[in-house]
């Protein structure tokens, strides 16, 4: 497995791969890899000849009061996991390699980035789309794999890819969960024992909504009440939002219909903000 830190070196390798007819997949991550990330690498392997896993804690997507400095990092462990999972290369640049001094250019998707996560994290998606566009230009992939765990990120990346004519297929990988349903996340390491118990409520609340819908409930107001009920009286738990939206526009809906709906939520458990989502009415 190749480990690359410099942009020109990565571009050179990707160019050579392309010239030799190889199909490239990129799996962008912020490292401290878990089974969720590894599932993306496995899916990438099935859709390409050469998989590049990028490991870069992107300062541009963290707010000023967020956890950029204390975000967990363990590159040696990540290298071993990538190798075991079959990644063909790791691209792991320094911050200065991606954002040189006097860096001035940002990519911004409008409107859909102001909703849901964008309400609490106003500069987050500008950071995400900027680094994604840069990683696309650096790794020159045919395919990029992202996790459904970050549902709004998928919508925003797909929109940027379409609007900016990136000739890249975006593959969405299902959310990998712990046995109690908690979506795997690097930030789960911040949870203490009590928080960890409460963290499983996110998925439980999503499954509760799904069950009520399957039994005929159509009112989003009622469904939100049911979901909120699960978080009531829990110590150190604050629901940021629960949202029922159209899958593409992210417009809020009031009644459940037969179309696909994204149910998503963000909850602060202890000091950690967790997100999760499910799609209902999904057509196979």
Enumerate the active-site residues: 37
Q: Is residue 40 a contact residue for ligand AMP (CB under 6 A)?
A: yes
**CB closer to ligand AMP, 36 vs 213:** 36
Site string for ligand AMP, 144-163 (x = CB under 6 A): --xx-xx-------------
Beta strands in 223-271, from DSSP E residues, in sequence order: 237-246, 261-269
Helix (H, G, I), strand (E, B) or coil at 143: strand
User: Which position among 54, 186, 188, 272 is part of the footprint of ligand AMP (CB under 6 A)?
Assistant: 186
How far, in Å, CA of 135 to CA of 61, rounded? Answer: 14
Long-range contacts of residues 252-258, Cβ cutoff 8 Å, at least 24 apart: 252/220, 253/220, 254/219, 254/220, 254/221, 255/218, 255/219, 255/220, 256/213, 256/217, 256/218, 256/219, 256/220, 256/223, 256/280, 256/281, 257/218, 257/281
At closest approach, how far in Å is the CB of 21 from ligand AMP?
27
Choose, by CB under 6 A, the member of 4, 13, 24, 36 that binds ligand AMP. 36
Q: Which of 54, 85, 161, 175 is close enough to bind ligand AMP by CB under 6 A?
A: 175
C-beta closer to ligand AMP: residue 36 or 127 = 36
Helix locations, 73-182, DSSP H: 75-85, 95-98, 117-120, 124-139, 151-163
Q: Determine if 185 is a binding residue for ligand AMP (CB under 6 A).
A: yes
**Structure tokens given for 207:** 């499954």
Closer of 71 and 241 to ligand AMP (Cβ):
71
What residues pair up with 27 in beta bridges, in sequence order?
A: 53
Task: Give min distance, CB of 34 to ligand AMP, in A.
Answer: 7
Residues that bind ligand AMP (CB under 6 A): 29-30, 36-37, 39-40, 146-147, 149-150, 173, 175-176, 183-186
């Amino acid at each position: 497995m190749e480990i690359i830190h410099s942009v020109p070196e990565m571009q050179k390798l990707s160019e050579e791969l392309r010239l030799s007819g190889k199909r490239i997949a990129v799996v962008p991550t912020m490292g401290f890899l878990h089974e969720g990330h590894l599932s993306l690498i496995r899916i990438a392997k099935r859709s390409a000849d050469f998989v590049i896993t990028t490991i870069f804690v992107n300062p541009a997507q963290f707010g000023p009061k967020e956890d950029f400095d204390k975000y967990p990092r363990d590159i040696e462990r990540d290298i071993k996991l990538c190798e075991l999972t079959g990644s063909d290369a790791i691209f792991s640049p320094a911050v200065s390699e991606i954002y040189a001094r006097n860096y001035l250019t940002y990519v911004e998707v409008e409107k859909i980035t102001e909703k849901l996560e964008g309400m609490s994290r106003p500069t987050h998606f500008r950071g995400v789309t900027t680094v994604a566009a840069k990683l696309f230009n650096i790794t020159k992939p045919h395919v990029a794999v992202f996790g459904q765990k970050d549902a709004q990120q998928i919508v925003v990346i797909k929109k940027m890819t379409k609007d900016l004519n990136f000739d890249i297929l975006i593959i969405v990988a299902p959310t990998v969960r712990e046995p109690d349903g908690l979506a795997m996340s690097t930030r789960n390491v911040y949870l203490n024992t009590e928080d960890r118990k409460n963290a499983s409520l996110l998925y439980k609340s999503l499954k509760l909504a799904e069950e009520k819908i399957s039994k005929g409930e159509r009112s989003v107001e009622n469904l939100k009440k049911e979901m909120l009920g699960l978080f009531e009286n829990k110590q150190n738990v604050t629901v940021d939002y629960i949202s029922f939206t159209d899958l593409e526009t992210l417009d809020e809906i009031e009644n459940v219909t037969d179309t696909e709906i994204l149910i998503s939520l963000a909850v602060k458990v202890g000091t950690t903000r967790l997100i999760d989502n499910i799609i209902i009415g999904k057509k196979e």
